[in-house]
Structure 1
Amino acid sequence: MAIVGTWLVGMAMIAVECRNARGEVISRISVDSFFNPVLLGVDQTDFPMLAGIDPYGDTFFNYLQVKRLLLELDVYAPEHSESAAFFAQLTDVCNEALAKPHRFLRFVGD
């Protein structure tokens, strides 16, 4: 893992998925190489959902947690404009998880 400016490169998180209750993947995106809020020291008070993403294991969010994550992204994403395209994709996957009942978000760690 290398440090470039204030960013860590070579993170462990590899994908974000929207899944249904049967475990089928509805949509999937690759994680931006600069996205790893935990290793970047995100504030747990301001961003509890982002701070709960395990970069080395899988993290699952239900619809209530996805709603909170979207609120956090509204604040967090503008501070990281170099990853704007990734945050737009992440927002789309979150909205896909909220589109129908019995869906959840999965952050796939290494």
Structure 2
Amino acid sequence: MAVRGDSGNVVASAEAGVEWAAGFADLDPAEFPMLSALDPYGDAVFNQRQMPMLRAELKRLPAGLGGDWVGQARELCQVVERGLHLYLWFIGD
């Protein structure tokens, strides 16, 4: 995970990555529209306006899908919200 600006420059990054589990495939897209967009093999990019919804989803994520990455994702959401023209990237393999 990383926060990047319009030019692609990395502003902040996480030490942990998303801990992929089979439960991610079971997330209901109606309840988790942001997190259900994550793909272990592709990138997902979220803008400043999407941060409140993403933070809310991270807060109610089932415990089995949590880990260090969740707290770091929340911190990166705050970086995006405080800045201009910043995006949170979930980077797949």
TM range (shorter): 0.7 to 0.9
Aligned length: 92
2:90 counterpart residue number: 107
Equivalent of 1:49 in 19, 26, 34: 34
Decide whether the 8 Å contact of 1:36 with 1:55 is kept in 2.
no
SS at the partner of 1:48? coil
Distance across 2 between alignment mates of 1:72 and 1:102: 22
Give structure 2 stretches of 5+ with no counterpart. none
Superposed displacement of residue 57, structure 1: 0.9
SS at the partner of 1:43? coil
Give structure 1 stretches of 5+ with no counterpart. 1-15
Task: Give the RMSD, CA atoms, in angstroms.
Answer: 2.1
1:27 counterpart residue number: 12
Q: Normalising by structure 2, what TM-score?
A: 0.83
2:71 counterpart residue number: 88
Decide whether the 8 Å contact of 1:38 with 1:55 is kept in 2.
no
Distance across 2 between alignment mates of 1:36 and 1:105: 23
Identity of aligned residues (%): 28
Select the structure of larger CA radius of gyration: 1
Distance across 2 between alignment mates of 1:62 and 1:82: 23
Superposed displacement of residue 66, structure 1: 2.0
**Larger strand share, 1 or 2:** 1
Superposed displacement of residue 47, structure 1: 0.4
Q: 1:73 to 1:82 in 2, by over 3 A?
A: closer
Higher RCO (Cα < 8 Å, 6 or more apart): 2
